[in-house]
Amino acid sequence: MAPGDHDQQGGDAGAPPPTVPLPTTTGGDGPQDGVRRPVTAPDSPAQRQQRRRRNGAAPDNGAHRRRPRPPQAQRRETPTAGRPKTASNQVGPAKAQRSLALVFLVHGAVTGSFATRIPWIQDHTDITPGQLGLALAFPAIGASLAMPLAGRISHRLGARTALRGLLGLWTLSLLLPALSPNLYALFPALLVYGATSGMADVAMNALGVETEDRLGRPIMSGLHGMWSVGALLGSAAGTVAAHAGTDARLHLGGAALVLTAVGTLACRGVLDLRSAPEEHPPPRFSLPPRSALLIGAVGFCAVFAEGSGLDWSAVYLRDVLGTDAGLAAASTTAFTCTMAAARLAGDKVVARFGAVRTVRAGGLLATAGALLIMTAWHPAPAMAGFALLGLGIAVVVPLAFAAAGRSGPAPSQAIAGVATITYTSGLLAPSAIGGIAEATSLTMSFALVTVLAFGLVMGARVLRAPGREAGKPVATQATDLERS
**In this predicted structure, which of 22-36, 139-153, 174-188, 262-276 has the lowest mean pLDDT?**
22-36
**In this predicted structure, which of 3-7, 16-20, 126-130, 304-308 has the lowest mean pLDDT?**
3-7
pLDDT, residue 69, reads 47
Percentage of the chain exceeding pLDDT 70: 73
Q: Return the higher-pLDDT residue of 360 and 157.
A: 360
Residue 256 has pLDDT above 90, yes or no: yes
Q: Residues 61-77: what's their mean pLDDT?
A: 44
What is d(CA 6, CA 20) in angstroms, rounded to the nearest whole number? 11
pLDDT, residue 279, reads 60
pLDDT, residue 60, reads 52
For the segment 431-465, what is each residue's pLDDT rounded down to a tens digit? 788 788 888 888 898 999 999 999 999 988 888 75
Q: Which residues contact 323 (CB under 8 A, 6 or more apart)?
A: 317, 379
Residue among 447, 401, 444 at smallest CA distance from 423: 401
- CA torsion angle for 421, 214, 360, 363 (degrees, to 10)? -50
pLDDT, residue 271, reads 87
pTM of the entire predicted model: 0.70
pLDDT, residue 45, reads 61
Residue 19 bridge partners (DSSP): 40
User: What is the rounded radius of gyration, in angstroms, for the C-alpha atoms of the chain?
Assistant: 32
Q: Which CB contacts under 8 angstroms, 24+ apart, belong to 381-387? A: 382/316, 382/317, 382/320, 382/321, 382/331, 383/317, 383/331, 383/334, 386/309, 386/313, 386/331, 386/334, 386/335, 387/334, 387/335, 387/338
Residue 28 has pLDDT above 60, yes or no: no
Helix (H) or strand (E) holding 482: helix 477-483
